[in-house]
Amino acid sequence: MSTNAKNTMPAESEESLQAKVMQLAKLCGWRAVHFRAARTAKGWRTAFTGDKGFLDTVMVRRGRLIFAELKSDEGELTPEQNLWVHDLVSLRDSLIEDGGPVEVYVWRPADWDEIVRILR
């Protein structure tokens, strides 16, 4: 065995992070929904009506409402997702000085400790 060998873990996928977040949300009593694309003959599609880019996950519990977009370490928000984040943050900021019950997040695998803190 080489002493130069690196012990690296593979990067966590968005799908893996999404599954963990949904499991944690359920364990912590959140009502949650995730909008998941499905593979069709024409590629990946998510059935919806309205503006593109809506965030992956919506959760509600005891007067709190969370909108979360989950990304891998390398994943980037699309321009449409950026617009949704901007508008949701504007809504949050207009409700109450401290942001009120609306929370907006873009979470990555490195944010796991924060995700656990927020969902507990």
pLDDT attached to residue 1: 46
Quote the number of domains for the chain: 1
pLDDT at 36 > cutoff 70: yes
CA distances from 23 to 37, 52, 103 (A): 19, 26, 19
Q: What is the pTM of this model?
A: 0.84
pLDDT at 44 > cutoff 90: no
As a whole number of angstroms, the distance between CA 46 and CA 58 comes to 16
Tens-digit pLDDT profile for residues 65-117: 999 999 999 999 999 999 999 999 998 888 766 556 899 999 999 999 999 99
Q: CATH number of the domain at 90, please.
A: 3.40.1350.10
> What is the residue range of 24's domain?
14-37+51-119
pLDDT attached to residue 2: 45
